[in-house]
Amino acid sequence: MPAPRFLNAYADLPERFAAAIPAQPVKAPRLLILNRPLAEELGLEPAWLESEAGVAMLAGNAFPADAKPVATVYAGHQFGHFSPRLGDGRALLLGEVVDRAGQRRDIQLKGSGPTPFSRRGDGRSALGPALREYLISEAMAALGIPTTRSLAVVATGEPVFRETIQPGGIVARVAASHIRVGTFQYFASQGDTEAVALLVRMVIGRHYPHLETHENPPLALLHAVIERQASLIARWMNVGFIHGVMNTDNMTLSGETIDYGPCAFMDAYGSARVFSSIDAYGRYAYGNQPRIAHWNLARLAETLLPLLAPEPEKALQLATDAIDAFPKLFEAATTAGLRAKLGLAVEDNGDLALAQDLLAVMAANGADFTLAFRRLSEAESSPEGLDSFRQVFATTGGIDSWIGRWTMRLSLEVTSPAERRARMQAASPAIIPRNHAVEAALEAAVMNDDLAPFRRLHALLADPYSDHADANDLALPHAAPDPGYRTFCGT
Ligand code: AMP
Ligand code: MG
């Protein structure tokens, strides 16, 4: 049962990139969940992770000899305001492991104790939010959306003090890397072009190796990140995911979703939907996400200006051209996703408008986003299927005329109805982490130490594109959704 072998490329960067942090043991660590398939994917021994030494590592109590735990420094625009120094205030990067596919992956503990970047925070996390990150990041992965993963959750046996006293928890997070737009901003805001250049090299080496031989690597990197983020946000939008805190420090260069705080999946469709308690003005509302991503990427472009070209005007032009490509890239990605959701394999110019008109009817009728698209996949196959789709809408006029248009559009298709149904079901999940289901699972785990509801929900979310006839209580919207439902950052 060998311990993991850590590499330390990030910890070995010059000193100004991260602070070494000693172990800060917790009182009574208890392993609550271990992600065995992920452990195996990473080439880690599940039995070792469950052993005393493994749990000690996952709790931040003691580390294998070759781990070099560090807290990384970064800056970030939080709700549009620049904070020149944020950094890992409650997280510890243990190092990198090389997974079975040969990819380098970070292992980080979140909730592991104070660091020089904690400011007024305690460096800890409550157990509920740690479990929430585990559940939702794993659900995103099962949906096929690029995301950081969760390896384990440990209960610390210590209280954390928030509005109430809560049990503490630590989530072990796995990421392609933790390099954020805010990491670039930290160094660029200090005029440290050398550090930015170093980050460019590291990010290209880890995430975009095909760009290594490009004639202008920083520019090629900017284009590549913009493309990945456009695709990522389109995927979020097409499953109704609302990140909730799209600050620049919560946007990765790798293109993975990161930092599951007050995120939520939308129930009733509406572009202004927002759940986060800290987002009073709806800056990060569902429909604003593409615009915010675009804005964040412009902040990334600014950090690269000195590296794009020796002449400032030329650099600005290159950056502007790259950034201006975002809306088109996003539209192409979202249209492709919506076509799949409508069962369209042939491309027609009117497809985006057809999809947007469906969304407008959904908005006007308080239709549940997930249920509407899933039931649309059955609307063609039987009168009952059609009827159950119509029932998602409060009134039928708008949707009936839309169905007429959709049916006409289907006549352009060459795929069979059965193929179409399969295609639609692969694009529109039957189950997502609904707020009521997540709340119930976390409450049982935290209040009653009962992980059974959590495990049941987690197992269903691992297979989101299949129907689960015995899981209507979790798959369907709440009978009486709480209009004032809010999610919290959990810090
Ligand atoms: P987040 O909301 O997770 O994106 O965090 C924003 C910033 O606040 C990051 O620098 C975090 O490390 C820091 N932070 C969040 N919670 C805590 C905490 N409990 N203690 C110390 N720092 C924290
Ligand atoms: Mg963050």
Q: Is the CB of 138 under 6 A from ligand 1?
A: no
Q: For 116, list phi and psi in degrees, rounded to 5.
A: -60, -10
Min mean pLDDT across 50-54, 227-231, 276-280, 487-491 is at: 487-491
Q: How far apart are CA 107 and CA 150, in angstroms?
A: 9
For the stretch 174-184, pLDDT in tens is 999 999 999 99
What does the alpha-carbon distance between residue 182 and residue 450 come to, in Å, rounded to a whole number? 38
User: What are the φ and ψ backbone dihedral angles of 271, each rounded to 5 degrees?
Assistant: -70, -20
CA atoms within 13 A on the CB side of 458: 19
Residue type, 217: P
pLDDT in tens, 318-346: 999 999 999 999 999 999 999 999 999 99
Q: For residue 491, how far is its CA from the centre of ligand 1 (angstroms)?
A: 6
As a whole number of angstroms, the distance between CA 175 and CA 106 comes to 5
b/e string for 404-423 if b means 16 or more Cβ within 10 A?
eebeebbeeeeeeeeebbeb
CB atoms near residue 447 (< 10 Å): 11
Ligand 2 centroid to residue 424 C-alpha, Å? 34
Region label for 5, one of left (φ > 0), alpha (ψ between -120 and 50) or beta (otherwise): beta
If you average pLDDT over every residue of the chain, what do you get?
97
Probe ligand 1: pick from 90, 258, 278, max atoms within 8 Å of CB?
90
For residue 4, give the DSSP letter: P
Cα separation, 476 vs 442, in Å, equals 18
In this prediction, residue 212 has a pLDDT band, given cuts at 50, 70 and 90, of: very high
Instruction: Give the pLDDT of residue 480.
Output: 79
> What angle do the packed helices 452-461 and 435-448 form, to 10 degrees?
150
Among residues 106, 249, 267, 368, which one is catalytic?
A: 249
Q: How many CA atoms lie within 13 A of 460 on its CB side?
A: 24
CA nearest neighbour of 94 among 183, 207, 32, 174: 174
Binding site membership of 89 for ligand 1 (Cβ less than 6 Å): yes
245 lines ligand 1 (CB under 6 A): yes
Give pLDDT tens digits for 447-465.
Answer: 999 999 999 999 999 999 9
Which among 182, 191, 178 has a CA at the least distance from the CA of 299? 182
Helix (H, G, I), strand (E, B) or coil at 122: coil
pLDDT for the residue numbered 491: 53
Which pLDDT value is given to residue 482?
A: 80
Contact 244, 487 (CB under 8 A): yes
Q: Of the bound ligands, which one is closest to the alpha carbon of residue 71?
A: 1
Confidence of residue 479 (pLDDT cuts 50, 70, 90): confident
Nearest atom (ligand 1) to Cα of 88: 12
124 lines ligand 1 (CB under 6 A): yes
pLDDT of residue 355: 98
Query: Does residue 387 have an active-site annotation?
Result: no
Residue with tokens 């499953």: 239
Q: Please tell me the predicted confidence (pLDDT) of residue 333.
A: 98
Instruction: Give dist(CA 23, CA 63) in Å, integer.
Output: 8
Q: Is the CB of 86 under 6 A from ligand 1?
A: yes
Alpha carbon nearest to ligand 1 atom 8, residue: 89
Q: How far is the CA of 185 from the centre of ligand 1 (A)?
A: 17
Which region among 122-126, 183-187, 232-236, 280-284 has the lowest average model confidence (pLDDT)? 280-284
Percent of all residues in the chain with a pLDDT value above 70, rounded to a whole number: 100
Predicted pLDDT of residue 489 = 79
Cα 157 to averaged position of ligand 1 atoms, centre (Å): 21
Phi, psi (degrees; rounded to nearest 5) at 326: -55, -50
Q: What is the DSSP string of 140-151?
A: HHHTT--B-EEE
In this prediction, residue 31 carries a pLDDT of: 98
CA atoms of 34 and 218, how far apart (whole Å): 38
Which ligand approaches the C-alpha of residue 91 most closely? 1
